[in-house]
């Protein structure tokens, strides 16, 4: 069958396909991608864009990587998928072993799932089953930070920021959770102990109902691209211990080097009870996520009622995904990733600095391979995206945030061209 022309494909897309957070019949254009390689998106109309988004934090080695391609093809010849109930396989075993080695020592038990949101659901259910097994069935609620983002399924949504997550719309279906203000001290600063007052008060008053505190360590991503004090995270860990509340670290965005450490928890040298990973896990190839728990959590769940953990996705531990994830992690560890990311941070700081002087810009901040230009006013996403495409780059801002999180393999020259486009386009926005 001949494939329809690009123009008619786009019409079919318009008629029948939803895009993320979009209207079905949206006036915003979607750009038709033909292929990808390295840090480039090749559009079907022949234009080439330098990708500043890594496909939402994922494609850390760039696209179409020969080593990952080769591993995927070899695994495909052997076995694309097999159910995980009662069966097991080398890709899952090797990946689990690797994850257990790389994450904080106490995290010894791995649950594979198919997306970040599901990994968060799994973490929340683990916390509830843990406390049930410990004779505290009343602990079924969660504490979390405002401006957080943890995914789009109902459980995950309940711990997303209530304003940006439109909780009012889903009012009666979302569990009511406990929100505390995000830390005001920034990354690199020590935090004033009074910043923990609101968290402490929530925990003191409600710890009998609270199973866990869930947060994004150090980097709040989709909820505001905000980098906060490691000191806060350390003290939050202490408060969780004091009030018998588990700590769930959502490392789905930060995992695998993005913030400059392999996992952002390392900035504060803390161990969460439960950790969620996803996004960059497969280097942007396939949808795979994992929830890791301490042996204390997993063995307690085993001893409780019903003696099993109540979750089991159809595509659990998909062999293709696991093999690709292992290849991606090996590539990362073989590279000089720390030096590379430190260099990307330096370059982002240098190249984005001109934005800081502009009247339409509130702040420029960088951490690891993340560069953020916070505008004073929300940008017009359709118009600014078009301007970026015309400038030869792929950048997709939201709200007041124009941000970059490039692949770690991006060269200085590509990064300079990417940032130059950001400086030019930002300068053109209304102040
Ligand atoms: C993206 C993200 C999620 C959700 O992951 P999906 O794979 O989109 O379901 C959860 N938490 C954080 C911190 C994320 O950045």
DSSP assignments along 311-355, one per residue: ---TTTT-HHHHHHHHHHHHHHHHTTHHHHHHHHHHHHHHHHHHH
Angle between helix axes 412-428 and 337-356 (nearest 10 degrees) is 30
Cβ of 221 below 6 Å from ligand 1? yes
Q: What angle do CA 382, 387, 393 make, to 5 degrees?
A: 110
Q: How far is CA 176 from CA 161, 170, 223, in A?
A: 12, 11, 19
Cβ of 177 below 6 Å from ligand 1? no
pLDDT along the chain (431 residues), means of 10: 86 96 92 98 98 98 98 98 98 98 98 98 98 98 98 97 92 95 96 96 98 98 97 98 98 98 98 98 98 98 97 98 98 98 98 98 98 97 97 97 98 98 96 85
Cβ of 232 below 6 Å from ligand 1? no
The answer to whether the bond into 422 is cis (omega within 30° of 0) is: no
What is the pLDDT at residue 2? 67
Residue nearest to atom 8 of ligand 1 (CA): 116
pTM: 0.98
Pocket test of ligand 1: the residue of 56, 218, 253 to mutate, having most ligand atoms within 8 Å of its CB, is: 253
Residue nearest to atom 15 of ligand 1 (CA): 253
The atom number, within ligand 1, closest to the CA of 120 reads: 10
The atom number, within ligand 1, closest to the CA of 289 reads: 7
Cβ of 114 below 6 Å from ligand 1? no
């Amino acid at each position: 069958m001949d494939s329809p022309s690009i123009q008619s494909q786009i019409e079919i897309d318009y008629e029948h396909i939803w895009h993320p957070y979009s209207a079905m019949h949206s006036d915003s254009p979607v750009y038709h991608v033909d292929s990808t390689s390295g840090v480039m998106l090749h559009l079907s109309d022949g234009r080439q864009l330098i990708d500043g988004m890594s496909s939402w934090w994922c494609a850390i080695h760039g696209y179409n990587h020969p080593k990952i391609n080769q591993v995927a093809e070899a695994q495909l010849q052997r076995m694309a998928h097999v159910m995980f109930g009662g069966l097991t396989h080398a890709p899952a075993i090797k990946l689990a072993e690797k994850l257990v080695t790389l994450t904080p020592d106490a995290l010894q038990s791995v649950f594979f799932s198919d997306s970040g949101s599901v990994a968060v659901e799994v973490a929340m259910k683990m916390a509830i089953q843990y406390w049930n097994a410990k004779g505290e069935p009343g602990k079924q609620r969660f504490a979390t930070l405002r401006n957080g983002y943890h995914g789009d399924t109902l459980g995950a949504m309940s711990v997303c920021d209530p304003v940006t997550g439109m909780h009012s719309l889903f009012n009666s279906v979302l569990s009511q959770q406990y929100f505390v203000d995000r830390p005001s001290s920034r990354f690199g600063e020590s935090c004033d102990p009074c910043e923990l007052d609101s968290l402490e008060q929530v925990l003191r008053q409600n710890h009998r109902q609270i199973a866990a505190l869930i947060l994004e360590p150090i980097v709040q991503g989709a909820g505001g691209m905000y980098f906060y004090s490691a000191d806060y995270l350390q003290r939050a860990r202490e408060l969780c211990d004091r009030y018998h509340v588990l700590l769930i670290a959502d490392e789905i965005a930060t995992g695998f080097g993005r913030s400059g450490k392999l996992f952002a928890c390392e900035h504060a040298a803390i161990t969460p009870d439960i950790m969620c990973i996803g996004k960059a896990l497969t280097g942007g190839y396939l949808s795979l996520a994992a929830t890791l728990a301490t042996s204390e959590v997993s063995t307690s769940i085993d001893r409780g009622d019903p003696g099993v953990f109540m979750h089991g996705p159809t595509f659990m531990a998909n062999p293709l995904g696991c093999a690709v994830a292992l290849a991606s992690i090996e590539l990362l560890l073989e590279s000089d990733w720390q030096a590379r990311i430190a260099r990307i941070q330096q370059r982002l700081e240098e190249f984005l600095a001109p934005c800081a002087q502009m009247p339409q810009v509130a702040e420029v901040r960088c951490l690891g391979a993340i560069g953020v230009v916070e505008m004073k006013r929300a940008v017009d996403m359709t118009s600014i995206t078009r301007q970026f495409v015309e400038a030869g780059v792929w950048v997709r801002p939201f709200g007041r945030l124009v941000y970059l999180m490039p692949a770690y393999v991006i060269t200085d020259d590509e990064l300079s061209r990417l940032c130059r486009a950001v400086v030019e386009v930002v300068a053109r926005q209304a102040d």
